[in-house]
A = this chain, B = another copy of it.
């Protein structure tokens, strides 16, 4: 049903593009009500407008906290135009209809981002705005609410098409958007309060996001998908695409897997990811060496994967990377020469991650009508709690190698076994329901591509070995140091096996399941 607009209330904190819309409001003889900065702007632009206080005959008070929270405003919005009783009450009170509401809220989000003090932030929680927007959205059968200036053009088209009226579908769409907006707003306010109070797991948790892209499709072409940005700072993900086609769902998924490991590295390093599991990780003072070593862990799997580098890519590194086919390269900038080398590969996606940073301490897993929330796994192990359970003990340097292996293991899907040599992985066994199978896979990979480095290698396990069979496999392959949480009832057997083989074993007491 089309509805004519007679009176409009406008209250916007973002005043850009107001001019465009005022022209059409006047054209269709729509009377304006406003206050404060918006009122001044409208007058400045040369349009007639009634101040809210004049309209309600109630002076705004409490520094503007109370001005539109008035029956004349809210009845004007909320009355059902086709309800006779409502209309009688409106006439009795001499209240007029408000048929259009154009409102943005106080910029709560920006206030938080600018790290103002708590009082100032609380002062910027909008009360009057959301009350009106919610009222107008509820009453979409009669009222139009615009909360996003990106909708100005389609609103103007509505006015033109319908000669000053709007149609029901448009109003309902805008109502949906309005509630999307109030939900988003209150979710941010609620998260801010929880942060302030140090509440990790509130009774009601609301996660809210702004759509940044409709993706080509989801994990597979027959599934639709989109990506949303979350949190106060929702301008960018910190992933600046420099060239190549648009990122796909699976690209994002792999990028996230790569970034999580990359961020955990304590020095210059490279992570190669395929199907959300690392196929190779290496740290080295020399960036190019770290790339080469991460690649040589499993050059077959790396094919078509993504490379994540926590360093600048120069000509030399770009040349080296170019020898292998990758889909995405993440780096802390690419220099001009590097870009020149990559430019021949049209489909290759280059992403600058210089501005990427960790913003959430939580992981959320969604399934059907539930979601699991947990703290991120930021610990590898406590040095003080290590137990040196074999006759031979590792040196300090070996412990550092073992820490690298365990840190990588943390990010490989469980059950996971990572075999490494110094600061490079040489065999990764991922995602097996039984631990001994993960050992087998890790050993086979290492034998295939890195046989020489298996001697004197180090193995990390994300959880304890329920049987000594996995330990045996690793020893046979040449592993000389095993790091694992410990805690199995058969630990003694494993320790005996390690002692017999004269290798070293360390228990961390810290498990790292990751699914």
Residues of A whose CB lies within 8 Å of any CB of B are 58, 61-63, 65-66, 69-71, 73-75, 78-80, 83, 85-86, 89, 93, 122, 125, 127, 130-131, 134-135, 138, 140-141, 148, 172-173, 175-177, 179-184, 186-187, 189-190, 193-194, 196-197, 199-212, 214-215, 218-231, 233-234, 237, 249-250, 252-253, 256, 259-260, 274-277, 279, 298, 300-302, 305, 358-360, 362-377, 379, 413-415, 430-434, 437, 441, 510-515
Expressed in whole angstroms, the Cα–Cα distance for A175 and B372 within the complex equals 25
- Inter-chain contact B183/A189, CB cutoff 8 Å: yes
Interchain CB contact under 8 A, A220 and B187:
no
Using A75-B61, A275-B414 as known contacts, say yes or no to A204 and B223 having CB atoms under 8 A apart.
no
A76 to B, closest residue via Cβ:
B66
A229: chain B residues at CB < 8 Å are 369-370
Provide the bound-state CA to CA distance between A203 and B148, in Å: 10
Task: Tell which of B73, B173, B433 touches A277, judged by Cβ atoms closer than 8 Å.
Answer: B433
Known A62-B78, A441-B441; 16 more pairs at CB < 8 Å? A122-B140, A180-B190, A180-B204, A204-B210, A206-B206, A207-B207, A207-B371, A220-B511, A222-B379, A237-B370, A252-B370, A275-B414, A277-B433, A359-B368, A364-B366, A432-B441
This chain: copies in complex: 2
* Distance between A445 CB and nearest chain B CB, rounded to angstroms: 8
Contacts of A177 in B (CB 8 A): 202-204
- Contact between A220 and B513, CB atoms less than 8 A apart: yes
Q: A148-B203, A234-B369, A376-B223 are in contact. Are A515 and B275 (CB under 8 A)?
A: yes
Contact B218 A253 (CB under 8 A): no
A69 contacts B66, CB within 8 Å?
Answer: no
Smallest beta-carbon distance A257→chain B, Å: 8
Question: Within the assembled complex, what's the spacing in Å between the Cα atoms of A12 and B205?
Answer: 23
**13 A-B contacts, Cβ less than 8 Å apart?**
A62-B75, A62-B89, A69-B135, A70-B71, A127-B135, A183-B187, A184-B204, A201-B214, A206-B206, A224-B375, A229-B370, A275-B431, A301-B432
